Amino acid sequence: MTHRALLAAALLSILVAALAARPHAVPGPHLRDFEAYWAAGATWNAREDAYSPAIWNAERVVPGVDARRDEILPFVGPPATLLAWSLFARLPYATAASLWSAFEVAAAIALVAGVALGSHARMDLFTLAAVTALGLACAPVSSAIVLGQLALPAFAAAALLVPLASRSLFAAAAAAIIAFAQPNASLGLLSQLGRNRITIALACAALASYALGAVAAGWGWPAAYARIVAAQLAAERFDAIQLTPAAIAYGFGAAPAQARLIGLAVAALAIVAAVLIAIAVRGRFARFAAFSALVPFVAAFVHEHDLVVAAAAAPWCALRTRGATRAIALTGTLLLCVDWLGLAQRPSAAVQSALLLFAALAAFASLGETRELRAGAVIGAVVACALAAAVWLAYGHPAPIWPDALGSFQAPNGASAAAIWSQEQRATGLFAVNPAWAALRSAPLLGCALLAYAIYRRPSRCRTA
């Protein structure tokens, strides 16, 4: 009965957080990131370069966008995705956004299914409801849904691919194509190389993705796309919205060259950790979850929603860990489940964050044993104190939000989309060196590291887990 009460408390807390404790809304279009996808499709339909400032011609007519200034949101997705966005762009924005919201919800359900199948959990209603509650309480998941981010569907496809590969090679290849639409989401699949069916599925998906990209941007698209990504990386390398180790080091005051070296050193350590995990963890899905949790330490772009890559490790640990390892995993999960920088950008989100933190704690605990509840309560209290300290820090060091703080920005003529984006971020104030913001951004990365470590400490015994 205790576990059912915990699950009920988690679901009630999520409901209150969503309906009664929502922070003050910020101006802008519904599904802010989907705006760039839809506009890219519209730009491509008009036979213009979706990676250029021409995208603004479509973005400026999106309901909620302030067309009196230039608030260009660049598109940096792989060319193959333009074929899908082209279809969405044939619909009015409101209709397309509603349809994409349905895809986001479906992706969240698929992620729950992938975790349950990969973890070999009991497929009963209680377990599925608890894993769902844990996902909904996770800030990267909810952020991806609210923003309309491709990261969630792509990672859900990657998570489903691991258990699907033993059932259908075609389904695994199809899932891989979707995963490749967001490169960060697919990096965890490197843990599966050497497993013949998945290796074949990934190879087929890579060829299909290349062919689809060729239809959208010509056969030489990889080189051109690499230049676009490099330019975008340079444009926001040390931006406060970046949660990469290099950006955080810069936020603490490291010089640009030092910050880059710190980023490379952390990436090297993450690669070593991945090798150790590959040796110690025989379970296929467990390896995937651990590798994915390490992605933020090696990826070039890491925004809050990109931390969804750790959304498989948290429920896996909730289902499969016990004792001290479970305490480590719970700490990591709770650190992941808060949008720490968001507290500085919208202090009114503090109550909602506290409710979701409690929901994550209750959902995680409901999947454990009764004797572990006391330790879980202590960990929850400690993280709650950290949340209170973070709220205090956030109130003293408010962070601006793009494009709200952009003012009357006008883009310079002839500049690339990446250069304009960099100037927008600078005008917004997001390139400021601020140790408080850096400290807040460090918390979810620590959570990712703890989740990967918990999987390493609890290597599954069977090859299919």
- Of the candidates 299, 309, 272, 305, which has an alpha carbon nearest to the alpha carbon of residue 456? 272
- Residue 432's identity, in one-letter code, is A
Q: Are 305 and 144 in contact (CB under 8 A)?
A: yes
**The pLDDT value given to residue 464:** 43
Residue 396 has pLDDT above 90, yes or no: yes
Of 22-26, 266-270, 373-377, least confident by mean pLDDT is 22-26
**The pLDDT value given to residue 263:** 97
Average pLDDT over residues 241-252: 97
- Of the candidates 247, 245, 235, which has an alpha carbon nearest to the alpha carbon of residue 269? 245
Residues of the chain with pLDDT > 70, as a percent, come to: 98
**The pLDDT value given to residue 462:** 43
**The pLDDT value given to residue 168:** 87
CA distances from 235 to 4, 101, 197, 426 (A): 49, 29, 39, 10
- pLDDT tens per residue across span 132-141: 999 999 999 9
- pLDDT tens per residue across span 337-387: 999 999 999 988 999 999 999 999 999 999 999 888 899 999 999 999 999
- pLDDT tens per residue across span 143-153: 999 999 999 99
Rounded distance, CA 381 to CA 358, Å? 10
**The pLDDT value given to residue 334:** 98
Q: How confident is the model at residue 460 (pLDDT cuts 50, 70, 90)?
A: low
Determine if residue 212 is left, alpha or beta; phi over 0 gives left, psi from -120 to 50 gives alpha, anything else beta.
alpha
Residues of the chain with pLDDT > 90, as a percent, come to: 85
SS3 annotation, the chain: CHHHHHHHHHHHHHHHHHHCCCCCCCCCCCCHHHHHHHHHHHHHHCCCCCCCHHHHHHHCCCCCCCCCCCCCCCCCCCHHHHHHHHHHCCCCHHHHHHHHHHHHHHHHHHHHHHHHHHCCCCCCHHHHHHHHHHHHCCHHHHHHHHHCCCHHHHHHHHHHHHHHCCCCHHHHHHHHHHHCCCHHHHHHHHHHCCCHHHHHHHHHHHHHHHHHHHHHHCCCHHHHHHHHHHHHHHHHCCCCCCCCHHHHHHHCCCCHHHHHHHHHHHHHHHHHHHHHHHHHCCCHHHHHHHHHHHHHHCCCCCCHHHHHHHCCHHHHHHHHCCHHHHHHHHHHHHHHCCCHHHHHHCHHHHHHHHHHHHHHHHHHHHCCCHHHHHHHHHHHHHHHHHHHHHHHHHHHCCCCCCCCCCCCCCCCCCCCHHHHHHHHHHHHCCCCCCHHHHHHHHHHHHHHHHHHHHHHHCCCCCCCC
**The pLDDT value given to residue 102:** 96
Residue 459 has pLDDT above 80, yes or no: no
What mean pLDDT value characterizes the chain? 93
Supply the angle between the helices 313-320 and 435-457 in degrees, to the nearest 10. Answer: 40
Residue 24 has pLDDT above 80, yes or no: no
**The pLDDT value given to residue 451:** 98
Q: How confident is the model at residue 320 (pLDDT cuts 50, 70, 90)?
A: very high
Residue 180 has pLDDT above 70, yes or no: yes
**The pLDDT value given to residue 463:** 42
Average pLDDT over residues 163-183: 92
Average pLDDT over residues 126-134: 94
> pTM for this one?
0.95
**The pLDDT value given to residue 206:** 95
Q: How many C-beta atoms lie closer than 10 Å to residue 258's C-beta?
A: 13
Residue 1 has pLDDT above 70, yes or no: no
- pLDDT tens per residue across span 411-434: 999 999 999 999 999 999 999 999
Average pLDDT over residues 58-69: 93
Q: Are 98 and 296 in contact (CB under 8 A)?
A: no
